[in-house]
Structure 1
Amino acid sequence: MKSEKTSPPEGEETPPNKDALLSTSTAGGVLLIGIQSGSRAVTFVGNQILLRYLSPEILGISTQLEVYSISVLFFARESLRVAIQRQSDTNDETAYRGEKKKIPHSHVDGRTAAGRTQALVNLAYLSINLGIIFAIFFAVLYHNGIRSSDPTILQTPYFGNTLKIYGVAAVLELLSEPCFVIVAQKSQIRIRGAAEVVGTLLRCLVTCGSAIWASRNGKDLGILPFAMGQTVYAVSLLAIYYGSVWRTASAGHFSLFLKSIYSNDPEAYFLSYFSRPLLALIGSLFTQGILKHFLTQGDTFIISTLASAHAQGVYALAANYGGLVARLVLQPIEESSRTYFGQLLFSTSGAPSPSAIKEACSHLQILLRTYVLLSVGILAVGPTLAPLLLKIVAGPQWTTAGAGDVLATYCYYIPLLAINGLSEAFVSSVATEKEVNRQSLWMLAFSAGFAGAAFFFLGFLNMGAEGLVWANVLNMVFRIAWSTRFASFYMKRNGSRLVYESLRPRGLTLAVAVGTWAALRRLQTMHFCGDTFEDFLKTGVVAIVFVGIVAYSEYEFLLERYNTFRVQLGRWWADKAAKRNRTL
């Protein structure tokens, strides 16, 4: 006798597969780290080549145009990209078979997986339209700003055309957003990786190639090579995304274009296209995004106002190298965690299941403890090792200029940056519209506090670039306090509990960290000979001993994490292989 497949009760959704979510999140984080590393490596090589053919003035203007492009893209799509991580990819079509006759042929059922994906695709078209508005607005703002501050920039060859091309390239990149939301929701990291790596490679080839051609042929193209590279990058994203996702849309019974969505609730969708709950959430996230963007760029504004050009250059270099860890490792982990928490705790009924809460609580604690261990290592070794690495990479002139001291101070900031990124990723995954608005108000207060602290450290204490780092440290402490408190209350009201005591490293780990920090400080002041290589070897020996003792002290935890990581990656590869076999 054949067993019948059971469907979820009517009105209920299929719960997410926790193991599949975790394995996808783990693999996604690894792939994103690989994507970031590959893209950064290609960009670094390209920049080293461009330094030989372009003047510092041209590179400076290109940086301003890059900020223009980033601002357009951030304001147009960032709130949508955060919101889509709340939308699950569960397929509950079987619960509504009896009602399919009511659904018009030109509509998608909003209660199905196809309907949920279509809601995201429709919202992506709002991002495209916002992008057009912001591209024009910021272009006018930027053009008028440099006309009053530095009109000589307007005399740069092809400046006007380059600014227009950058705006068009930003809109072209946004045209791929309907495909990106599908790739993000369905965790198709390989498609994203292919698009970004190929796009970055082509951008570097076109930018470098046109700059070299112009230099050898006596042509002055100004900043036009950067605009050409940016356009090629946007077009390549469009081609790869649409070429890869078209089949997914056809198989999933949704469209890559605007399509009406059916719902029993007439208030669920605005104009039958846009989910009202998602629109409200995106509005709140957009407001918060403005605060975050200006808070992120606030240090640049403050140091340009209160510090000398020398201090600005020192801080820029230290922040660039210090932020590499955040961009290459921490940011991909935060992004994959945000997707994991958002989909695991998503529920149309409003309250996630107790098992999902327990799973999320456990996963958050594990990640936080891992970050704490990483932070212990950075705090113990980083302040001594980082200046030596800077001397090797950037040359001794930067360390004598003070960049080494700033980078050493930056090592105290990186652990806070890591923990804050993870805790705020959790908040953005589960917070309601009201809670997001409350967080935005607190962030406004933190921004004011950051500005006050920076003014005190730079204006009164004359600490220069180091003072700005300490102002960032204070700001990050308050943001961590708010987000971890929110996580605790969220778990408590859903019947679980975050055990912060479990995050504390073992006593041996803490003792050896303090001892290593003290030993390296003494080594630096009394036994460094000035030979970079020899000093690096001395520091490396101490660091290796430190890592060995920590590995022994935290052996059980590290072994468990390694085994979990290996199992989740193996499960992800097995799932991918099974899907490929089914399509053959």
Structure 2
Amino acid sequence: MTSVKPIKEKPAGKSLFSTSAAGASLLIALQAGSRGLTFIVNQVLLRYLSPELLAVSTQLEVYSITVLFFSRESLRVAIQRQADVTDDDSKAKQDGNLSRKDIYLDSRTTAGKSQAIVNLSYISILLGLVSTVIFGWIYANARQTGVVETPYFGQSLRLYGVAAILELLAEPCFVVVQQKSAFKIRAIAESIATVLRCVVTCAVAVWAAHHQRDLGVVPFAIGQGVYAISILLAYFLAVWNIASRGGFSLRLKPIYSKNKQYIYSYFSKPLLSLGGSLMIQSMVKHVLTQGDTFLIASMATQTAQGIYALASNYGGLVARLVLQPIEEMSRNYFGKLLSVVDGKTTKQATKKASVDLQRLLRIYLILSVAVVSVGPVIAPLLLNFIAGPRWQSSGAGNVLAVYCYYIPLLALNGVCEAFVAVVATEAEVYGQSLWMAAFSAGFGGAAYLFLGVLGLGAEGLVLANMANMLLRITWCGHFILAYCGSHGAEFKVMGLLPRPSTISLGVVTYAALAQMRTSFTGALVDIIKCGLVAMIFVILLATSEKEHLLECYRTIKG
């Protein structure tokens, strides 16, 4: 038996942080471009399709998202804990069992690590086949008024299901892209697919209108099918070369391991077990979310729900465009840095993770000062300009102003939960799920107080969500402090706070804008005035936090 030299992990250095930051920037640009293009397409489709058909297409999109979420999300998080390692000797890829060297990959080599996540991604495909059938049956038999009567609804539903499976077939390529931090491949693949989906959807809808054919939601279904095929082909063509050069396969391939950590020599037991725990947590989250939705429907009026939905859509743009990509890259970065599949991590890596997490959280708190100081005044003005005075008079502007206080909590919770997701043990994941159930009960109590007792309407819904988010942040904060403390890494909570001068600037700016608001007429000039004040504030804020911002910049640039 020949021996394999110990494997050295990639240094937990600045290059990883820089790569993650660049990846976040690419994803933010991708999200912005995708949202902008989707908005343009919807404006075109409004000329050819009825609002009812757009509503049905939204239901089909929810079906697709649900299938993909339950099939791959938990495994994606688990897979991010697999370290991308390098060999001391590129020829030492087997552990002496030479008769197997063309069949088995050594679990300790770079190729073996990559093959492990590729193998595990096939579980997502299997889950997708099951989820597509189950959720498809549920949607087909829901008997929602006006939905099943839509022309070609059954065919469109099946096409969405096929598209979901095709998209899942690209999962072996996607996990390799994530592990190798090849974010450009992802950006190119998803950009091409998004553009083609929009073009095809519009083309089919326009063709049907010109030929007086009532295709129902078929244009959306065909567009989704084209998107899935494009994603699959783009990923496969790009990742095939990576797999060939890396010595692993995009197909299922057995892995040799001394410690028998692979089921049937294919699937990593630790990763699969963790993925199962995270899937249970995802199910708990889904059930709790549905329960919260039912609770809101029973306590809030239709008007309050509509106003809240509008504020959530506009306020949530920040979360979808900026916060979600940063959260995803944080998971990827901390997962690679700590790599705690086997419950072990180096003290140096933990200290590095603690420092970088503190940097990111402080940046979020600095930006939160800006959002809270400027947002509550400017947001209602922008809503009046975009949605019209009818929505402003309904109180939606005030709700959007309150939502600005909710955005910082969304940001903090997203990063904190991303960190927890990549370091928590299975027992801790189960514990977090139980606490989430308790927090959901707390949300119910807060909703009753703000809606039933105080009668705050849509503003009460935002406040209830803020209370729930505060509880989740508190739990994550306690977990992070305990984790860092147990691994010998210092975490300074007070060091997260912005400088006193920054907070003072925020207070003064808020007071100035509040005073200006008394003379607002809703004209464009009011937005320009507020924009000038906000611009001056941002310059002063950057000056106040210059030292920290430069430190972050140098870290990113490496």
Q: TM-score range by the shorter chain?
A: over 0.9
Q: 1:447 aligns with which of 423, 437, 440?
A: 440
1:102 positional shift: 6.2
Provide the identity percentage. 55
Match of 2:548 in 1: 557
Secondary structure at the aligned position of 1:336 is classed as helix
Q: CA-atom RMSD, angstroms?
A: 1.9
| 1:66 and 2:58 correspond | no
Distance between the aligned counterparts of 1:310 and 1:47, measured in 2? Answer: 25
The answer to whether the Cα contact below 8 Å between 1:354 and 1:495 also exists between their aligned partners in 2 is: yes
Kept in 1, the 8 Å contact 2:4–2:93? The answer is: no
Aligned in 2, Cα 1:98/1:228: closer, same or farther, shift over 3 Å? closer
Q: Which amino acid aligns with 1:197?
A: S
Aligned to 1:255: 249
SS in structure 2 of the partner of residue 187 of structure 1: coil
Task: Output the CA distance in 1 between the equivalents of 2:235 and 2:499.
Answer: 47
- Paired position in structure 1 for 2:132: 135
Residue 494 of structure 2 is matched in structure 1 by 501
Point out the more displaced range, 443-452 or 171-180.
Answer: 443-452
Q: CA deviation at 1:349?
A: 6.2
Corresponding residue number in structure 2 for 1:111? 108
**1:41 equivalenced with 2:36 (yes/no):** yes
Structure 2: distance between partners of 1:522 and 1:263: 69
CA distance in 2, matches of 1:537, 1:310: 31
Tell me the residue number matched to 2:477: 484
**Structure-to-structure mapping, 1:224-373, within 5 angstroms:** 224-266=218-260, 268-296=261-289, 300-346=293-339, 350-373=343-366
Match of 1:544 among 514, 524, 535: 535
Which residue of 200, 206, 215 corresponds with 1:206?
A: 200
Give how far 1:447 is off: 1.7
Task: Name the SS of the counterpart of 2:141 in structure 1.
Answer: helix
- Return the alpha-carbon distance in structure 1 between the equivalents of residues 158 and 4 of structure 2: 54
The AA in structure 1 aligned to 2:346 is S
Q: Does the CA contact (< 8 Å) of 1:16 and 1:343 recur in 2?
A: no
**Aligned residue identity for 2:127:** L
Q: Is 2:10–2:85's contact at 8 Å kept on the other side of the alignment?
A: yes
Q: 1:97 deviation in Å?
A: 6.0
1:500 deviates by: 1.0
8 Å CA contact retained: 1:199, 1:236: yes
**Secondary structure, counterpart of 1:131 in structure 2:** helix
Partner deviation per Cα, 1:54-86 (whole Å, 9 max, x = no partner): 111111111111111110000000001111111
TM superposition shift of 1:206: 1.0
CA displacement at 1:93 relative to structure 2: 6.1
- Equivalent residue of 2:181, what SS? coil
- Quick one: structure 1 residues 128 and 97, their matched pair in 2 at CA, closer, same or farther if it must change by over 3 Å? closer
Counterpart for residue 470 of structure 1: 463
In structure 2, the residue corresponding to 1:264 is in which secondary structure?
Answer: coil
Secondary structure of 1:564's counterpart equals helix
Alpha-carbon shift at residue 282 of structure 1 (Å)? 0.1
DSSP-derived class of the 2:85 partner: coil
Does the CA-based 8 Å contact 1:299-1:468 persist in structure 2? no
1:186 matched to 2:142? The reply is no
Shift of 1:299: 5.1
**Kindly tell me: are residues 508 and 14 of structure 1, through their superposed partners in 2, closer, same or farther at Cα, counting changes over 3 Å?**
closer
**Which structure 1 segments of 5+ residues have no match?**
1-7, 569-584
The Cα of 1:298 is off from its aligned counterpart by: 5.4
Partner-residue secondary structure (3-state), 2:105:
strand
Q: CA deviation at 1:453?
A: 2.0
In the alignment, which of 378, 382, 390 is matched to residue 375 of structure 2?
382
Rounded Cα–Cα distance in structure 2 between residues aligned with 1:419 and 1:253: 40
> Counterpart of 2:555 in structure 1: which amino acid?
T
Alpha-carbon offset, residue 561 of structure 1: 2.4
Listed as ranges, the matches of 1:516-527 within 5 Å are 516-524=509-517, 526-527=518-519
Tell whether the 8 Å contact from 1:157 to 1:222 is kept in structure 2 after alignment. Answer: yes
1:148-163 pair list within 5 angstroms:
149-150=144-145, 152-163=146-157
Is the contact made by 1:128 and 1:171 (CA closer than 8 Å) also made in structure 2?
Answer: yes
Q: Cα offset for 1:562?
A: 3.0
The one-character-per-residue Cα deviations of 1:247-272 (angstroms, maximum 9, x if unpaired) are 11111111111111111123x11111
Q: 1:309 to 1:212 in 2, by over 3 A?
A: farther
Secondary structure, in 3 states, of the residue corresponding to 1:323?
Answer: helix
Instruction: Give the letter for the 1:138 counterpart.
Output: F
**Conserved 8 A contact 1:72-1:134:** yes
Q: Could you tell me how far apart the structure 2 residues matched to 1:18 and 1:180 are? A: 24
Paired residue type of 2:369: V
Per-residue deviation, 1:105: 2.4
